[in-house]
Amino acid sequence: MKEDTILTLQNEISQIDQKITANDTLLTDSPDLCDLINEENATLKQQREALQASINQINGDIVDGEGDVENNNGEFKDAIIEIRSAAGGDEAGLFAGDLYRMYLRYAEHEGWKATQLSLSEGGIGNIKEVTFEIKGSTHNPAFAKLKHESGVHRVQRVPATESSGRIHTSTVTVAVLPKVNPKQIDIKTEDLKIDTFRSSGPGGQSVNTTDSAVRITHLPTNLSVSVQDEKSQHKNKEKAMQILASRLYTMMQQQEKDKLDDIRSEQIGSGERSEKVRTYNYPQNRVTDHRINQSWHNLQSIINGDLEDITESLTTNLD
């Protein structure tokens, strides 16, 4: 029975490969159909990856690869992280940039690969919102170590532009989602509203002369994802679908446990200064995680990516 199932899946993969080959020939013969053919090929490749993942799972031979999202213990290997500036104006945007660089450096220390998915800037070093993926490994899964980073991060420091030396308090929200294969989520085409628009840089400066940016709205939940980083509309759509799938998966999992009604509002709150999970106090060189009531007095090292002590403490106390 197992062998018959694998053979059926392999035959389906073979048929998909034939369609892709035929489409590649059409690309040369019918350049006017290029966009349609590329879109169909992308869908066919996703179907192929899902079929191959099923074969790997049947064989018990799940390996690290683009289509594999879990390791052998059922843990999610990869994470999608969303950072948004909240209360505090420009200083919040600057701190969002600091946290983004902190997670990138931590990923580098861990040997993980980080890929930016979308970015909205408010100026040099000032980030309104950034979404990025961190790809872990079977033996060192990223989501398991980073999942407790979700929440409101508060910073207390004297901004560079503050002439009087007054300490400002600002907040940034962090949401850590498991990266899931969109094929794992039942997302119906009729439930999606897909809009395209022209990409733009800071201050509305146009960076693209075509409508390559994509916004996907999941109508039943009103979740919306916008991606404009790539010049290719198809690539932006693919990234947006990946983010949407991870958000929907997380929402469904937490609703099943009756923990959350709304993943966004419950996981990261409104961004108000009182809803904090961690405080970065620069004058006192102290980082405090309020969930476990523990502090570390090496703030600059932590901001530079030295998060190991924090993630280990959170895993020990919160898992």
Instruction: Yes or no: say if 287 and 281 are a contact pair by the CB < 8 Å rule.
Output: yes
Q: Looking at the predicted structure, is the pLDDT value of residue 94 above 50? A: yes
Which of 127-136, 234-243, 310-319 shows the lowest per-residue confidence on average (mean pLDDT)? 234-243
The answer to whether the beta carbons of residues 234 and 36 sit under 8 Å apart is no
Q: What is the average pLDDT value for the chain, to the nearest integer?
A: 79
pLDDT grade, residue 105 (50/70/90)?
Answer: very high
The answer to whether 5 touches 58, Cβ cutoff 8 Å, is yes
Does residue 196 contact residue 217 with C-beta atoms inside 8 Å? Answer: no
Q: Rounded to whole angstroms, what are the CA distances from 284 to 276, 280, 314?
A: 18, 9, 22
Give the pLDDT confidence score for residue 274 in this predicted structure: 53
For the domain with range 182-256, which CATH number is right: 3.40.50.300, 3.30.160.20, 1.10.240.10, 3.30.360.10? 3.30.160.20
Distance of alpha carbon 158 from alpha carbon 123, whole angstroms? 19
Q: For 195, list phi and psi in degrees, rounded to 5.
A: -115, 145
Task: Report residue 234's pLDDT band, with 50, 70 and 90 as the boundaries.
Answer: confident
Q: Which of 82-86, 122-126, 296-300 has the lowest average pLDDT?
A: 122-126
| Per-residue pLDDT at 52 | 75
Mean pLDDT of all residues in 64-89 = 68
The predicted pLDDT at position 236 comes to: 82
- The answer, yes or no, to whether residue 63 has pLDDT greater than 50, is no
Q: What is the pLDDT of residue 299?
A: 95
3-state secondary structure of 282: coil
Residue 109 predicted with pLDDT over 70: yes
| Average of per-residue pLDDT across 108-121 | 88
Which sequence spans correspond to the domains of the chain? 2-59, 78-179+278-318, 182-256
In the prediction, which pLDDT does 23 show? 79
Say if residue 112's pLDDT is above 70: yes
Residue 258: the pLDDT is: 46
CA 180 and chain centroid, separation: 10
Say what the pLDDT of residue 200 is: 60
Would 78-179+278-318 and 182-256 be classified into the same CATH topology?
A: no
pLDDT at 55 over 80: no
Determine the average pLDDT of the residues in 120-149: 86
The answer on pLDDT for 279 being more than 80 is yes
pLDDT attached to residue 239: 81
Confidence category of residue 203, pLDDT binned at 50, 70, 90 = very low
How many helices (H) and strands (E) in the chain? 8, 11
- CATH top class, domain 78-179+278-318: alpha beta
